[in-house]
Structure 1
Amino acid sequence: MPSDPFGHAIRDHYLGERDEPLIDRDGDETREHAIEEWYFGEYQRDEWFESWIDGPVLDMGAGVGRDSLYFQDQFETVAIEVSDTLVETMRDRGVRDARRADMFSLREHFERDRFRSAFALGTQVQLAESMDGLRTFLGDLAYVTTADASVVLHGYAPELERTKDIFAYREDPTPGMAYRVFHCEYDGAIGRTLVFRLFSLDRLRAATIGTPWDVAEASYGHPDSDDESNTWLAALTKQ
């Protein structure tokens, strides 16, 4: 029985051995995790995103390495995940530097000024346990990046009404804040409960106060798209 249902379901999918769905559960509400769509698509060239990325680059919460496989052909790329199974899958897919590391404990894994840029696509930055946790993360990220570094972060936007329709959403009376709470199930195993602390762009800007970071550019959805979105993208640079 897998002890890491999320990672094992994705690896079984990669190996062609997955016979049942990966389920996300919030009480009685469930959804099937769209593994192929969310993790195994090809990287799509993105001029806005790539304009903020330079090497060495840190891919935080890299999944199966979709983005790292693209960037490693241009400059040094380090991909991190908290799942040993996902790290193994990244290596099998050709990611040259895939490591088990938690994006919320960067100082334990990397030295000062190690990276020129970093990114976390997939809203995983909102797994910071609190706004204090987010500030600590930003401080640690500043430590492991150079003085001219840039970072791209991605999150759900609780300040938008349409965000209330996402899976496992929980309201919070604090302006610009909300939660998502769910766990994964696969092959009889139940994963740990994931608590996402959703914060608005204004809350992100407030969290940078007292850190070297400044929100240089931000938008709802992709800045080059007119499509409505319930997420934001933000590029941060050092002041």
Structure 2
Amino acid sequence: MSNDPYGRAIRDHYLGKQDKPLIDRDGSETQEHSIEQWYFGEHSEGAWRDAWMKGPLLDMGAGAGRDTLYYQEQFESIAIEVSEHLVEVMRDRGVRDVRLANMFTLRSHFDRDRFRSAHAVGTQVGLAGSMAGVRQFLDDLAFVTTPNATAILDNYAPENESTEEVFAFRNDPMPGLAYRVYHMEYQGEVGETLLFRLFSINQLRQATIGTPWEVAEVNYSDVQWRAILEKS
């Protein structure tokens, strides 16, 4: 398998073999990646977003399959991940349809109108890298979803002062924009540098222009937003 300390650490945690922490590193600053909390907790049944999810569902960047395991009991659900380690973990945990695929190349993996809903919770949409990349992602997501589809995305809210305290935060001179830049380390293995584009809901609305999507509802926490998108 390719260099993937992130996926390997989560796999080792699942197997009970993790003997060192997964570390997020930004220069000299580090934090321990909270694997159990972020990947192996229970899906909160009746969560706000559940009412918007219908099958067939695409779970993008599904991690260890926490949400897919819940949704697949309600309707057809497909999980995708770029980590071979995480694909193995999900299959072992009982995810019935999991595929090695990148959420930013959806047209290469799925036919037009394949899904009624799509779900990407974990701020991974920021890995589009730029607002042009976000707009291209939304266009590709529109291709693989039905005309009446809904989608859930989340990200950090750079307009909130408290977000500046988030690990690896970088300011941007443009209003409503910022970055996070860091890499992960596990057992001496160093992962590629990750660049997350942070953007506000207003920036998301701008990105939907020229696509069939519109922002239907938003839920805020102190440092993040979670948005429901519908096709118009």
Structures share a fold, TM > 0.5? yes
1:3 positional shift: 2.1
| Inter-CA distance 209–2: structure 2 relative to 1 (3 Å threshold) | closer
Counterpart of 1:211? 211
d(CA) in 1 for partners of 2:90, 2:181: 27
| Inter-CA distance 213–93: structure 2 relative to 1 (3 Å threshold) | same
Q: Which amino acid aligns with 2:44?
A: Q
Q: Does 1:187 align with 2:180?
A: no
Counterpart of 1:118? 118
Q: Which amino acid aligns with 1:231?
A: Q
Structural mapping, 1:53-64, within 5 Å: 53-64=53-64
Alignment equivalent of 1:233, drawn from 210, 221, 226: 226
State the 4+ residue runs in structure 1 displaced beyond 2 angstroms.
none
d(CA) in 1 for partners of 2:88, 2:203: 35
d(CA) in 2 for partners of 1:79, 1:118: 10
d(CA) in 2 for partners of 1:98, 1:2: 19
* SS of structure 1 residue aligned to 2:52: coil
Give the TM-score normalised by the residue count of structure 1: 0.95
Counterpart of 2:100? 100
1:46 positional shift: 2.9
Is the contact made by 1:2 and 1:189 (CA closer than 8 Å) also made in structure 2? no
Counterpart of 1:129? 129
d(CA) in 1 for partners of 2:181, 2:60: 21
Structural mapping, 1:1-239, within 5 Å: 3-221=3-221, 229-239=222-232
Is the contact made by 1:3 and 1:191 (CA closer than 8 Å) also made in structure 2? yes
d(CA) in 1 for partners of 2:225, 2:151: 14
d(CA) in 1 for partners of 2:123, 2:47: 20
Kindly provide the CA deviation profile for residues 137-177 of structure 1, in whole angstroms up to 9, marking residues without a partner as x: 00000000000000011100001111000000000001100
- Identity between Structure 1 and Structure 2 (%): 64
Kindly provide the CA deviation profile for residues 69-128 of structure 1, in whole angstroms up to 9, marking residues without a partner as x: 000011100000000110000000000001111000100000000000001001001111
d(CA) in 1 for partners of 2:40, 2:150: 26
Give the TM-score normalised by the residue count of structure 2: 0.98
* SS of structure 1 residue aligned to 2:119: strand
Q: Which amino acid aligns with 1:95?
A: V
Is the contact made by 1:106 and 1:144 (CA closer than 8 Å) also made in structure 2? yes
Instruction: Provide the aligned C-alpha RMSD in A.
Output: 1.1
d(CA) in 1 for partners of 2:206, 2:220: 18
Q: Which amino acid aligns with 2:199?
A: F
Q: Which amino acid aligns with 1:178?
A: A
Is the contact made by 1:61 and 1:124 (CA closer than 8 Å) also made in structure 2? yes
Runs of at least 5 residues in structure 1 that lack an aligned partner in the other structure: 222-228
Is the contact made by 1:126 and 1:155 (CA closer than 8 Å) also made in structure 2? yes
d(CA) in 1 for partners of 2:115, 2:216: 18
